[in-house]
Amino acid sequence: MTDPRYTKLAKLLVNYSTALKKGERILLDMIDVPDEFTVELIRAVRAAGATPFVEMRHTRVGREQLLGITEAQAADIRDIEMFRMKKMQAYIAIRGADNMNENSDVPSARVQLYSKVIRPVQDYRVNKTRWCVLRWPTPSMAQAAGMSTEAFENLYFDVCTMDYAKMGRAMAPLEKLMAKTDRVRLVAPGTDLSFSIKGIGAKMCKGDRNIPDGEVFSCPVKTSANGVIQFNTPTLYSGTKFENVRLVLKDGKIVEATANNTKRLNEILDTDAGARYIGEFSLGFNPYILSPMCDILFDEKIAGSLHFTPGQAYEDCGNGNKSAIHWDMVLIQRKEWGGGEVWFDGELIRKDGIFLPKDLKPLNPANLK
């Protein structure tokens, strides 16, 4: 018997997140996902009158391919993937992993090579298709979140099938405010960072790009950021877990970067010239996500958090920065995490994770659940 939560999530992804229409084509990119859910997703696509194309991947196989990847092979993969992507109007990627650290022993040079060569496919998908990306709940994810497998699965489906239309209505005033803001200042333990988002714009994320969702993002003017930011959330990138990441910025550039693994951190930030500039600034407020899970699709939406992103900027609300990396790093500002403040043009917008202006209070956790 099919888990009814599978059916509910599949319908949300097809009918709301990607809003599939009759006659459209969609690529379903499934990585370590149970066949039972893939089947439900195919059925939901067909019920919408669209045509599903399915790619099945496995992280252990992907690791082996990366270990021996050459520039010529990566270029062939890029060309094949691009040909297929240009046939699609929509894209859903669901990424599971039995081991979240599967790629931890893949040399940085191999990862960087592949990331650089394959980037045009991702750029096309982001800018030219309707897309949604999410994780699949696995024991590995539950372990990273410090939860039992059953409790984590229950949380996952609560978060992923919440009322995103209601959330969208609540975040509209924040999108409007950020779009007209110039100066931003972030304050927290170890953090005092200022930058401009003037003229960049803002975009709300309400379950139509990521699931789970719950953020409004913008981007610093490329050379405007000055100060220091100390992140209090672990971050997993290229199979390596980083903690206590601290970045010092001068005129928009990361001039100093330290962490528990400073060498590997700087190797990633030296991928290309754009990796040391910032490609995104965002405020997160999903009421169901309160603690880090070492999974960025969840952690970047933690209630009372913000993320600041070295690397590639989006075309929407971007500053033109180009890079093979896009690394969301998360700072939680709720009181139990040390607190903090977000200031827009001299006005205190959020303190200790709670929005203060009247029109933003619907985004506070008690009002979103």
Burial (0-12, 13-18, 19+ Cβ within 10 Å), 3: middle
Q: What integer pLDDT is reported at residue 293 of this predicted model?
A: 85
The rounded average pLDDT for each run of 10 residues, N- to C-terminus, in the chain (369 residues) is: 91 94 98 96 98 96 95 97 98 91 89 92 94 92 89 91 90 97 98 98 90 95 98 90 96 98 95 97 95 88 97 94 96 98 98 97 91
Q: How far is CA 223 from CA 18, 177, 228, in A?
A: 35, 22, 14
pLDDT of residue 224: 98
pTM beyond 0.85: no
Backbone angles phi, psi at 225, to 5 degrees: -80, 130
**pLDDT value at position 351?**
98
Residues 299/292, Cβ–Cβ less than 8 Å: yes
User: Residue 183 has which token pair?
Assistant: 């100066």
pLDDT at 89: 98
Given this model, what pLDDT does residue 242 score?
Answer: 95
pLDDT at 64: 95
Q: What is the dihedral of CA 340, 346, 348, 350, to 10 degrees?
A: -60
Residues 25, 45: Cα–Cα separation, whole Å: 9
Q: How far, CA to CA in Å, does 38 sit from each of 50, 119, 151, 298?
A: 15, 26, 22, 21
Residue written as token pair 């200031």: 343
Separation of alpha carbons 138 and 152, rounded Å:
9
Tokens at residue 12, please?
A: 């949300």
**CATH code for the domain defined by 4-160:** 3.40.1830.10
3-state SS class at 276: helix
Confidence (pLDDT) at 210: 84
Nearest partner of 92 among 129, 40, 146, 49, judged by Cα: 129
In the chain, what are the domain boundaries?
Answer: 4-160, 164-368
In whole angstroms, give the CA distance from residue 242 to residue 247.
Answer: 13
